[in-house]
Amino acid sequence: MSAPPKGSQAGEDSPKQSFQLPWAGRKVTFAMLENFTRLLSSLLTAGVPLSKALTVLYKETSAPVARKRWRDLHDLVVDGLALSEAMSRFPDSFPKVYTAMVEAGETGGFLDIVLGQIADFQSRDKDLKGKVVTAMVYPAVLFVLAVAAVIFLMLFFIPKFKTLFEDFQAALPLITRVVVGTSEFLMHYGLYVIGGLIGLVFLARRWLSSTAGKRKFEEILLKLPVIGPLMSQFALARFCRMLGTLIHSGIPLVNGLTVARRSLGNQTLTDATSESIERVKKGESLARSLSSCRSLFSGATIEMISIAEESGRLDKELLRLAEVTEKDLDQQLKMAVALMEPMMLFMAAGFIGTIFVGMVIPIFTIQDYIK
């Protein structure tokens, strides 16, 4: 049995910062992991032994949480564990895909090369995710502003008009009665509505945390008109880049498929590619085995992979497919955002315009009551 990690020893692992936000520094961030991977690859390439390289990394890092994690990793390796096995002890810091790639590099005897490839993959994956997040920021801001404007009108603007209408005892049009009724409902039961929404969010999170719930939600997302194709392309780009990187590093095809399958990020697509691994083990070509997963691989993609296999440049073709898919995904994201912006503006204008019309129409009829 291996000795417990020594990273908790006092002295060099204790934070030396005078002030730290209470919610910060509790988890190894993506940037910390990327920096760790690239530096470890450089040290190993320079011929530094693994234990010495880990010592350098935990002494050089300034983040307390990263220093402790790298120290724990170092102690486990010194105690005799393989690097991948030591990483598997900390799934919150090292994803399963990451650990699987490190294990493949250790098995093949080229850990330094694999770590460099992982760092490059992390960098490209971060850029791709950043584009997705950036593309969704503006529509999300428009939606929040529209909801805030409607809530303000319902709670503060409409009640003043309501008292005006009641003083004249005017017969209100249907649209005005609906708007006023909605305002009254929010005034009286708004807190209950907020509580109900919070409860629904809590139940939804519990459902999504379960295996069945997450799988069902991913199936629903894949069937949506715009989101589904974007998710499939995102998964295809990650799969091709991961598999191409692994094959280029000398990882056997079956092992590479097993690791790349975990990078899809969608259980439905992961299950769909599982069959292809079994078919490759039986001797089928990669292109033929992937042809059954039409939700991820189009006919043109399968044909390009088939030709690449025959010509012996599968790794280069997979990396090229990843780059082409990422560029196509970037264009589709820009187009989707360009369509979402006017849709969000139209919806906001529709809600606010309905409220405005509902309040203005009775004003013209009030003149008759004044006369």
Helix pair 174-209, 211-223: axis angle to 10 deg: 130
For the chain, count helices (H), then strands (E). 15, 0
**Which pLDDT score is estimated for 111?**
82
Q: Is the pLDDT of residue 340 over 50?
A: yes
pLDDT above 90 coverage of the chain, percent:
6
Give 29-43 pLDDT, tens digit per residue: 888 888 899 899 889
Mean pLDDT of 172-184: 80
**Which pLDDT score is estimated for 102?**
84
Q: Is the pLDDT of residue 104 over 80?
A: no
Superfamily of domain 30-94: Type II secretion system (T2SS), domain F (1.20.81.30)
Q: Is the pLDDT of residue 166 over 70?
A: no
The first and second tokens of residue 346, run together, are 């139209």
Local structure of 337: helix, strand or coil: helix
Mean pLDDT of 203-207: 89
Q: Is the pLDDT of residue 90 over 60?
A: yes
Extended beta strands in the chain, E state: none
**Nearest in space to 358 (alpha carbons), one of 116, 158, 188:** 158
The mean predicted confidence, pLDDT, of the chain is 79
**Dihedral-angle region of residue 260 (phi above 0 means left; psi in -120 to 50 means alpha; beta otherwise):** alpha
Distance CA 228, CA 224 (A): 5
Q: Is the pLDDT of residue 4 over 50?
A: no
Mean pLDDT of 30-58: 89
**Which pLDDT score is estimated for 211?**
79
Residue ranges, comma separated, of all CATH 1.20.81.30 domains in the chain are 30-94, 117-371
* The CATH number fitting domain 117-371, selected from 3.30.300.130, 3.30.360.10, 3.20.20.60, 1.20.81.30: 1.20.81.30
The first and second tokens of residue 81, run together, are 């564990």
The first and second tokens of residue 197, run together, are 């929404």
Mean pLDDT of 100-104: 78
